[in-house]
Chain A
């Protein structure tokens, strides 16, 4: 953003580039030596905010007449608990899965919510305020800031892989390691040597499809939302009357619509977490 005004393409690409530890945009598609500081900061920060606020509330939760905030949290807890009860039938597993679903719901919602903050606000603060104050030059390095962690593919995919790991854990816990391996080769088509490889391939595809769709559904929605906000900001960036009015109208409509999307996506992510863990408990 510093220096000459960027072209539209540069502006969009700039907004979709994560701040990495090296300070440069990541070159390869997969590079395990790179870590996105912005995603980790905002993601971890919002996660901590979620659990700390919930924890503070839980500390002074009263069984008497609840305050408004406690009532609101109880509403969510009851909602998640009811869903967990109807989907995961093991009370023992619910002890971990239900609280996890609650945290995932609120956390994902907050991460999605970052999308409603004006797209240029935090990048501006970072690139024109904080970074120079820290002695950096945004034109040279570290000149990136993405504040929507769920629009960074690593975050939704990281969570969906976590859910996959949970599915493995509960499959082994409920059915035993042998039972699970047996199921991998005999379900869904039946126990016959000819069918074993087919079953196994089917199971692998199922796991892969579940995990990828789980993560990419959230990522896709939020990435598209963010991209649209960036494009709408470009409209205002033309600095014309039509551009300003267009920015105002399109930005308002998309933001209002996006309120629905961020809640819905958080809810879907939580529900699928429960559903996949619930499926891990069932024998074919």
Chain B
């Protein structure tokens, strides 16, 4: 418990250590702290912004989806309309082709019937002549009775 020159030494050391800390210790630590504070502030701001962006994007996505649904509905309606029209056209075309075919077939059938009738008629005439020949058992000049035969043929028509 004696006062001596240690006191003076302590005063000198006190200021040296204080100066050293001020010069070499305090500034880098404070710089690191301030930088970290700035980083955290930036990070928080970025997070807030991201959140806002996300909300906006979600809203946009919903809007887009709604639009897409709407346009899909339009497309479907158009497609349905078009499909119905195509079906209608096809049906009409088919009917037309069927009618045409039927007409052609009917014409052909009629012509065939006509031809058959004609053949039949000619054969009937020949048969008639042959029949008559046999019935009459006499010679009939076909040529001399051509007119008669033609008349008969005409009547059969």
Q: Which residues of chain A come closer than 8 Å to B24, judged between CB atoms?
A: 51, 55, 58
Instruction: Report whether B17 and A161 are in contact in the complex, using a CB–CB cutoff of 8 Å.
Output: no
Q: Which residues of chain A come closer than 8 Å to B7, judged between CB atoms?
A: 154-155, 157-158, 161
Q: Which residues of chain A come closer than 8 Å to B6, judged between CB atoms?
A: 18, 34-36, 39-40, 152, 154-155, 158
Instruction: Report whether A58 and B15 are in contact in the complex, using a CB–CB cutoff of 8 Å.
Output: no
Instruction: Report whether A159 and B29 are in contact in the complex, using a CB–CB cutoff of 8 Å.
Output: no
Task: List, sorted by A's number, 7 A–B pairs whose CB atoms are closer than 8 Å.
Answer: A30-B4, A31-B2, A39-B10, A40-B9, A62-B32, A64-B39, A153-B2
Instruction: Report whether B10 and A159 are in contact in the complex, using a CB–CB cutoff of 8 Å.
Output: yes
Instruction: Report whether B10 and A43 are in contact in the complex, using a CB–CB cutoff of 8 Å.
Output: yes
Q: Which residues of chain B come closer than 8 Å to A165, judged between CB atoms?
A: 11
User: Helix, strand, loop or mixed for chain B's interface?
Assistant: helix
Interface membership of B135, Cβ < 8 A: no
Interface membership of A83, Cβ < 8 A: no
B89 to chain A, nearest CB (A): 74
CA distance A64 to B40 in the complex (A): 10
Interface membership of B8, Cβ < 8 A: yes
Instruction: Report whether B18 and A63 are in contact in the complex, using a CB–CB cutoff of 8 Å.
Output: no
Q: Which residues of chain B come closer than 8 Å to A64, judged between CB atoms?
A: 36, 39
CA distance A35 to B30 in the complex (A): 37
User: Helix, strand, loop or mixed for chain A's interface?
Assistant: helix
The one of A43, A57, A103, A158 that contacts B29, using a Cβ cutoff of 8 Å = A57
Interface membership of A100, Cβ < 8 A: yes
Give A100-123 interface residues, CB cut-off 8 Å to B: 100, 102-104, 107
Give B1-52 interface residues, CB cut-off 8 Å to A: 1-11, 13-15, 17-22, 24-36, 39
- If A57-B29, A58-B28, A77-B30 touch, whether A35 touches B21 (CB-CB below 8 Å) is no
- Taking residues whose C-beta sits less than 8 angstroms from the other chain, chain B's interface range is 20 to 34
- If A54-B25, A78-B33 touch, whether A158 touches B4 (CB-CB below 8 Å) is no
**Interface-facing stretch out of A91-99, A183-191, A254-262:** A91-99
Shortest 7 CB-CB contacts between residues of A and residues of B: A158-B10, A63-B35, A154-B6, A100-B18, A99-B26, A58-B28, A99-B21
Instruction: Report whether A77 and B29 are in contact in the complex, using a CB–CB cutoff of 8 Å.
Output: yes
Instruction: Report whether A73 and B5 are in contact in the complex, using a CB–CB cutoff of 8 Å.
Output: no
- If A55-B20, A153-B1 touch, whether A63 touches B25 (CB-CB below 8 Å) is no
The one of B1, B4, B18, B30 that contacts A32, using a Cβ cutoff of 8 Å = B4
The one of B10, B18, B21, B34 that contacts A54, using a Cβ cutoff of 8 Å = B21
A10 to chain B, nearest CB (A): 17
Interface membership of A177, Cβ < 8 A: no
Give A43-62 interface residues, CB cut-off 8 Å to B: 43-44, 47-48, 50-51, 54-55, 57-59, 61-62
Instruction: Report whether A155 and B10 are in contact in the complex, using a CB–CB cutoff of 8 Å.
Output: yes
- Give the one of A57, A58, A66, A77 with max B CB within 10 A: A58
Instruction: Report whether A100 and B13 are in contact in the complex, using a CB–CB cutoff of 8 Å.
Output: no
Interface membership of A140, Cβ < 8 A: no
CA distance A51 to B28 in the complex (A): 13
Interface membership of A29, Cβ < 8 A: yes
Across the two chains, which residue of chain B brings its CB closest to A76? B29
Instruction: Report whether A34 and B4 are in contact in the complex, using a CB–CB cutoff of 8 Å.
Output: yes
- If A73-B29, A158-B7, A159-B10 touch, whether A99 touches B22 (CB-CB below 8 Å) is yes
Instruction: Report whether A103 and B18 are in contact in the complex, using a CB–CB cutoff of 8 Å.
Output: yes
CA distance A26 to B6 in the complex (A): 12
Q: Which residues of chain B come closer than 8 Å to A103, judged between CB atoms?
A: 17-18, 20-21, 25
Q: Which residues of chain B come closer than 8 Å to A33, judged between CB atoms?
A: 4-5
Instruction: Report whether B18 and A50 are in contact in the complex, using a CB–CB cutoff of 8 Å.
Output: no
CA distance A34 to B6 in the complex (A): 8
Q: Which residues of chain B come closer than 8 Å to A152, judged between CB atoms?
A: 6
Q: Which residues of chain B come closer than 8 Å to A40, judged between CB atoms?
A: 6, 9-10
